[in-house]
Structure 1
Amino acid sequence: MNKDLRVVVLMGGWSSEREVSLTSGRGVANALRERGWSNVVELDMDRNVAHRLEELKPDVVFNALHGTPGEDGTVQGMLDLMGIPYTHSGLETSVIAIDKEITKMVLVPHGIRMPAGKIVESESLFREDPMARPYVLKPVNEGSSVGVAIVTDESNYGSPIGRDVEGPWKHFDSLLAEPFVKGHELTVAVLNDEALAVTELKPKVGFYDYDSKYTDGLTEHVCPAQIPDDIARSMMGMAAKAHRLLGCRGASRSDFRWDDELGEAGIFLLEVNTQPGMTPLSLVPEQAKVRGISYGELVERLIEEALARKKG
């Protein structure tokens, strides 16, 4: 690759995952510079982003944004219109994968097991539960476990949920309700259509929420996960299949729950992340390392794929 190409690392923005995106973006930019890339620009996205990109004239954009509008197709559509190649998934895939309910509509008919769920109005939770407890409430189109609540018989949310109790119902008009799948929290990264590994995530307190993901020391990562080989193969196959069906490009990460009492039938895919984190605690770089791919090499592979896509 020509390391004189101008790479703009697009990061930050105004989503709930802004700080994580800034960390990802700085890591990407530093890795490129260390590997001899001479023209790397870090761009903290604001509402003037199209004008700034026009000024910078990048050869390729490394999309290090997380959440909306960097992961939902908005930025992808802008870059398509401007004719600028970029890493990770394109417009159509981003629109589908950011919406957990639409993702189910695409994947479940192809044999990928996901928890049955339904969209509920947040106001209705103050009258009755949408399904038998325990169940999970989550925003339809947020990532990184932002706004996730697990409602159990023992929870302090109340029964029904208290109107004044803190939870996602206070921040979103509607939520996705799903049955809670007991067991193990696992994730699989896919790089250019190949599943890399399975990681088990063991939060030291509570469940694998936003804080557990991005605060050092709160979660133990076991990679490769200490699970039966047939379960690992099945999970990796499911992640690779979801990546292909959704039309993902570059890297994606599929999150799972596994009820070990049910064997292979207990594997449930929860969501597919098209803009997985690139921070020091992130799972895609960790799994790449297990496969002998350094952080810097991972970044370069994503850029190479973006440039090849434009050429193709």
Structure 2
Amino acid sequence: MQKGNGSMSEYHNPVMLKECIEGLNIIPSGTYIDVTYGGGGHSREILKHLDASGRLLAFDQDEDAKKNIIQDDRLTFIDQNFRFLKNYCRLHEAMQVDGILADLGVSSHQFDQPERGFSTRFDADLDMRMDQSAPITAKEVIDTYSEEDLHRIFGMYGEIQNAKSLARTLVTSRLNKKIETIAEFKEVIKHRIPKGKENKYLAQAFQALRIEVNQELEALQEFLIQSAEVLKPGGRLVVMSYHSLEDRLVKNFIAKGKFRGEVEKDFYGNIQRPLDLVNRKALVASEAEIALNNRARSAKLRVAVKL
């Protein structure tokens, strides 16, 4: 893996890079935020569009992201989760920004590191923490959560059909022996996996654990609310999500200014919401891009403007 301005292709190919940059509608002297820095692919492209007075704040709590910080005076790297967006914008005197970009995918680089425990392809401890100093790991979720909570996590976050029996299997099995590694987890649940659907089922189970361990949906909701507050009128919010749960939160927040329930209207019947859609429908990757980068297949890009 190269640092600085070397090739980042081995770290993370940014999905829909052109569409993301167009969505931000960059003003050269503006202030922008990339809340998911990762390998720096999107940040590097944003910097190309800024002049000497432009600014970019980049958030990431992943250890590997810190090894890839672009050396550029216009870039401020913030070693934090994007759920603390507003606090750090205030700290860095960037309370009214021109655009915010979030790419919610786990970088392929994280999946490719066996010891991080994100991938079903390797054996490792069940970890899955984006932030290596965070208190809870996937192992603790599996070994300490109640059957009811495991059922909820696998059903909601993994959209697994037999989430209830999967939860019961784990709870029964851990009475005899703790489930600590990916191999042990696979062994315990193998009779619950529909024939021929092994890869998909494991991917869904891992997604559910990862979302829970990293509190991804709570963090996303906090981030979206704060993003509407730190954007200046006319500023752009560009969010790329990779599964329906995230996309639904983004879609609802842009449409209604909230995550569930009906829209609120003022006395005159105008919808009360901070953002408006730029594109009526979510943008998706081209067939050509999907052929080059399979991760792009499930990506949905939504662009909104601050009213």
Q: Same fold (TM over 0.5)?
A: no
Give 1 or 2: higher helix fraction. Answer: 2
TM-score, reference length from structure 2: 0.29
TM-score, reference length from structure 1: 0.29
